[in-house]
């Protein structure tokens, strides 16, 4: 009977593991900086993102499911997120044509908050990504979008 040494069961350092851990570490550094910046406005990054998405619809609304697809939160967190947006007076739920589908719409207070917060937030994003050239930012965005789309397909196939 052969026994494996403890080191034999450890994964080898591959480009894939380095990539994934770098993505996770970058998120771990970025998320607190973004949250700290938005905290003075009583917003979390998820709330800011939701307001941004809702504002992009103009005067239209989105179903909870549609909003969830656009956000950087899980679908199960959308209800709580919308609850907090409603408590702040920044969004409202409204009935959809299909009574089972609840729709969400940004309020004028939400638009005002977003327009107040967005300029300083945009300035911070420029500062945080300043180590990259415009071309590198475009390429990184393209690659991350490609990876995210492939991961969505992988998640659907595994579900």
pLDDT of residue 76: 76
Angle (CA) 104-73-14 rounded to 5° is: 155
Q: What values do phi and psi take at 62, rounded to 5?
A: -125, 150
d(CA 108, CA 58): 11
pLDDT tens profile 50-105: 999 999 998 889 998 899 888 866 667 899 999 999 999 999 999 888 777 889 99
Residue whose C-alpha is closest to residue 48's, from 75, 79, 73 = 73
Residue ranges per domain, the chain? 15-128
Structure letter (DSSP) for residue 12: P
d(CA 116, CA 123): 13
The dotted CATH code for 15-128 is 1.10.10.10
Query: What pTM was computed for the model?
Result: 0.79
């Amino acid at each position: 009977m052969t026994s494996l040494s403890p080191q034999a069961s450890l994964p080898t350092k591959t480009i894939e593991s380095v990539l994934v851990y770098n993505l996770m570490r970058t998120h771990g550094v970025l998320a607190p900086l973004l949250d700290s910046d938005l905290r003075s406005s009583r917003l979390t990054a998820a709330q800011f993102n939701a307001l941004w998405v809702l504002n992009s619809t103009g005067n239209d609304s989105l179903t909870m499911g549609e909003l969830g697809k656009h956000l950087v939160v899980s679908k199960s967190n959308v209800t709580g997120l919308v609850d907090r947006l409603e408590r702040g007076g920044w969004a409202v739920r409204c009935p959809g044509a299909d009574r089972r589908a609840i729709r969400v719409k940004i309020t004028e207070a939400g638009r005002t908050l977003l327009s107040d917060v967005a300029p300083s937030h945009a300035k911070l994003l420029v500062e945080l990504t300043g180590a990259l050239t415009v071309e590198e930012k475009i390429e990184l965005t393209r690659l991350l979008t490609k990876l995210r789309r492939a991961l969505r397909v992988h998640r659907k196939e595994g579900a």
